[in-house]
Structure 1
Amino acid sequence: FMQAVVGGRSVGVPGVPKLLEDVHKRYGKLPWKTLFAKPVALAERGFAVSSRMAKSIEQNRQHLQRYPETAAYFLPGGKPIPAGTVLKNPKFAASVKLLAAKGSAPFYRGKPAENIIKAVNGAKDNPGKITAADLKNYRIIEREPVCAPYREFEICGMDAPSSGGIALAQIFGVMRHFDMKAMGAGNIQSWRVLGDASRLAFADRDYYVADPAFADVPVRAMLHPEYLKLRAGLIANSYGALPQVSPGGFARTQGKGQGMELPSTSHIAVVDKSGNVVSMTTSIENAFGSTLMANGYLLNNELTDFAFNPVDAEGKTVANSVAGGKRPRSSMAPTIVMKNGEPYMAVGSPGGSRIIGYVAKTLTAHIDWGMDIQAAIDLPNMLNRGSAYELEENSAAAAKAPDLEKLGYKVQVRDLNSGVQGIVIGKNGLQGGADPRREGRVMGD
């Protein structure tokens, strides 16, 4: 996997500069040029490297040393930057100043774009194929949100090619047939329902979710109440783990394909005094992306989110197979929960394909088990993406391993480094929660 990640072949066209500019043109109130003083100052003055970042640099030393610009930044003198070091980035400050002055255009058809192409195609051991036309022709696509009713709420998220919103809609469309509140957080049967609902969602995800411009994604069928009732029936008719899970029997012309998403992403949730709500997940995929740098920033390795097997064992084309101009599937799940037609909650997380489980756990803990947003985030992570039930090490979740094994699950106790950030909008104001497993925090004016 890392042979595919490191270098130019995995780099996709960056979308964030154009996205931010597009959203600001439609909804922004402050002048664009005034929005960048803080990131410029942070890049010029520097920031103290956290212990988690220092550990990650050490762990990825082998890959970071492959390209001179990246090695000079993260491994000065050949040694990983220790925690507490003040790290400055004047090249990035210059890029942000250019974004402030000229907007996103230079990053798609100017010198910054040329620098990206040069870095990607000039990677000596794994060059890419990105072209000036790829950057110039990139377009933002606005999609209708995927919303699912759950209790008195509507849980809304991203449509394909992200699998996050669809999977959450399926999970909660199944769980609405169970009294999760009565069972409670301490009941192993609650986790059986949540775990198997997730397994069923991932079974559909692996077959059907991809870029809808290239594949038929049967979202309506996957979210139809009768279909989800049938899926819930599978769980209701079994006391233990489902012995096997299969995708729904839609007109299946695609094969099964699994991309590998690494848990190196960021999420923010914001509510302003005017009532605007943002839930935004952004990623360069791997901790250090492709490990290539251009214009002072790391370039992504998003193309490894495509399936590694374009054709499955039965000879069927995989929906999420790689193609030029195609957007890879992700599991990002920025979520806005609605109540009585008004925003009630914004939540999301980094974590690769585990994002879906992290967000599902947080929503269940808050909605069904009555935990405030911080307690819901703090609750030890337990999730199932289809193979093993993963339990957060060094937490109360690990103690549930024997009970889950008795139910028939394969269990894996491991580090589950979520980064859930959330805000609940109540009658008496806002309540925020930040994941203690990362450096996030709650801030307010």
Structure 2
Amino acid sequence: MPKNCQTIFTIAALCSLLLGCASPEPFRYQALPPKVALPPAPEGSSGWQDKPGWRAKNFMVAAANPLAADAGRQILRAGGSAVDAAIAIQMVLTLVEPQSSGIGGGAFMLHDDGKTVLAYDGRETAPQAADAALFLHPDGKPLPFVTAAVGGRSVGVPGVLRMLALAHQQHGKLPWATLFEPAIALAEQGFPISPRLHTLLQQDLALGSQSLLAQDGFAREYFYTSAGAPKAVGTILKNPLLATTLRHLARQGADYFYTGALASAIVQKVRQHPTNPGVLAEADLRQYQAKIRPALCHDYRQYRICGMPPPSSGAVALAQILGVLEHTDIARYRPEQGNAGEWLLHPQAVHLYSEAARLAYADRGQHVADPDFVRVPVAGLLDKNYLARRAQLLGERSMVKANPGVPPGVSMSWAPDRSPELPSTSHLSVVDQFGQAVSMTTTIEAAWGSKLMLGGFLLNNQLTDFSFVSQENGVPVANRLEPGKRPRSSMAPTLVYDREQKTLLFALGSPGGSAIINYVGKTLVGVLDWGLDVQQAINLPNFGSRNGPTELEKGRAPEALIEALRARGHSVNIIDQTSGLQGIQREAGGWFAGADPRREGVAMGE
């Protein structure tokens, strides 16, 4: 390790860090699908830990695990860029938060170099041999989610390493190999199992008589005792296989993953699964390309908000929600704090936001997919007149279920999407001393991905983010499975600017499956409309609608709020909403960062 980038990772320090802490064109509607239960949180709850917020003058990183945040800080301290820090963080997250993300998955990253905001697309792609029948029984009925997800069938071509290598080529300051050293040191020396990691291992075990994850021999030996129980909190985990993989990546670059022996091993693991083999081929890995897309930016009041364009639906839906709310007086209904310091939401604020979200999620399911395969009417969906018309649908009572709208530019109909979308994700935000910023959301889809492990890391099950059915009554689904296609996502890495000064104000995002949009939307309303700081906004109870019931966070929904919403016609569902928001906010003299108390993330800076 270069002298200017030395990081001491003692076991005691690791334990201390981790355990302490216009007129539209003709359009034909399709009937909405039968009412089905919305997907639960991709990752379960592991408790609440109050977070104070953190301040720094020169640079800041917020990540989902203290060890990952520390790796990012060390890289910034050594003169690295925001992209450099993001790479180091992702490598450590592969090790310490394997249930959520890793080099076997994909990611979306927004990057601001002080002049231009670009969107880096490292989303997984479908193998060339994949077809519309991949997730169907012989009789044409969709497979159950677990049947589809566990094993090789669901594995898409991982994209995160190609994306990070592309971003580093353009914006890196430190050598590529240097960025792997914190993760290699941790993998070799070991790290303590955190309470959250242990809890999620237990939850996987509780899904059946045997852990689905433990059906993979590598995963069973690594995560479980000889008796089949998850290893205890504080147990030191060493991952020499991942250390070896990372050393090869450090020396040979991302090509090591996409060509040669590792690529062959990945394909063999996928295609030779004993009960659920997949169709991934070495040519799929070799031909994968990360993409740079223009960021999707829109105005909201005095702010300019930028996010990921399709195939992510995150920025489109957020722009629609805020575009509708701009026609309301939601800013009047700032939450109050109770006697114990808890945040009390105003029923009218939840009503207005949830109705706006219903409209956005209806459009999302109808119109958004991979733009390289489907013409996505982004301009029409964000058209000010269109959103003004949609806003007129908000009334004193809930609409309960919204129909998709007819935005300008739509020339054909699509059937509604029924993809289950249970992405298990992680988010990191970074601002560096050079005026650059990164907001990156990264995923392996469901918790523990496909439950396949090799080389010390888990493979994704990202193909289950496609609609399991390709058509309804002969009408195609936009987000249907096609060879080489990227599945639609809800990931919503976000950068917020002062519209006149063009100054970066916030970098934020969250994991959470299809609820990501509401988690980020709630936080944006909190800081932009209600004047909260980013930690306070993260702390707000989660709420919203995915065009089904109005969802309130379990344990944080007073009966008075529930009854007030029901009086407005809402069907209320009280559920775990395990967001993992990470946000950085500009303040006088530097930066203030917040991390979600629902997970184990922290912020660090100098």
The TM-score range, normalised by the shorter chain, is over 0.9
Q: Deviations over 1:258-308 (max 9, x none)?
A: 212225211000001111110000000111000001211000000000011
Structural mapping, 1:377-416, within 5 Å: 377-396=538-557, 399-416=560-577
TM-score by length of 2: 0.72
TM-score by length of 1: 0.97
Structural mapping, 1:6-17, within 5 Å: 6-17=150-161
Q: CA deviation at 1:342?
A: 2.3
Letter in 2 for 1:192: H
CA distance in 2, matches of 1:302, 1:335: 22
Which among 331, 337, 361 is matched to residue 522 of structure 2? Answer: 361
Q: Give the match for residue 170 of structure 2.
A: 26
Residues 1:49 and 1:427: Cα distance change in structure 2 (over 3 Å): same
- Higher RCO by CA contacts (8 Å cutoff, separation 6 or greater): 2
Q: Is the 8 A contact 2:526 2:537 kept in 1?
A: yes
Q: Deviations over 1:23-50 (max 9, x none)?
A: 0110111111211111111111111112
Which among 417, 423, 445 is matched to residue 257 of structure 1? Answer: 417
Q: CA deviation at 1:343?
A: 1.5
Letter in 1 for 2:572: V
Q: Is 1:64 the counterpart of 2:213 in the alignment?
A: yes
Q: Is the 8 A contact 1:391 1:398 kept in 2?
A: no
Instruction: Compare 119-128 and 261-270 and name the one that shifted more.
Output: 261-270
Letter in 1 for 2:224: L
Q: Is the 8 A contact 2:401 2:548 kept in 1?
A: no
Residues 1:304 and 1:398: Cα distance change in structure 2 (over 3 Å): farther
Q: CA deviation at 1:243?
A: 4.3
Instruction: Indicate the structure with greater helix content.
Output: 1
Residues 1:399 and 1:2: Cα distance change in structure 2 (over 3 Å): farther
Q: CA deviation at 1:16?
A: 0.9
Q: Give the match for residue 99 of structure 1.
A: 249
- For structure 1, the 5+ residue unaligned runs are none
Q: Secondary structure at the residue paired with 2:292?
A: coil
RMSD: 1.3
Q: Is the 8 A contact 2:323 2:387 kept in 1?
A: yes
Q: Give the match for residue 426 of structure 1.
A: 587
Q: Give the match for residue 112 of structure 1.
A: 262
Structural mapping, 1:19-418, within 5 Å: 19-61=163-205, 62-77=211-226, 78-185=228-335, 186-235=345-394, 238-249=395-406, 250-312=410-472, 314-339=473-498, 340-396=501-557, 399-418=560-579
Q: Deviations over 1:346-403 (max 9, x none)?
A: 0000000010000000010111111111000001111210111111111246652111
Q: Is the 8 A contact 1:146 1:169 kept in 2?
A: no
Q: Give the match for residue 43 of structure 2.
A: none
CA distance in 2, matches of 1:37, 1:71: 26
- For structure 2, the 5+ residue unaligned runs are 1-144, 206-210, 336-344
Letter in 2 for 1:67: D
CA distance in 1, matches of 2:333, 2:534: 20
Moved over 4 A (4+): 396-399
Letter in 1 for 2:596: D
Percent sequence identity is: 46
Q: Deviations over 1:66-85 (max 9, x none)?
A: 22122211223122222221
Q: CA deviation at 1:204?
A: 0.6
Q: Deviations over 1:320-358 (max 9, x none)?
A: 011110000010000001112221110000000010000
Q: Is the 8 A contact 1:332 1:356 kept in 2?
A: yes
Q: Is the 8 A contact 2:506 2:586 kept in 1?
A: yes
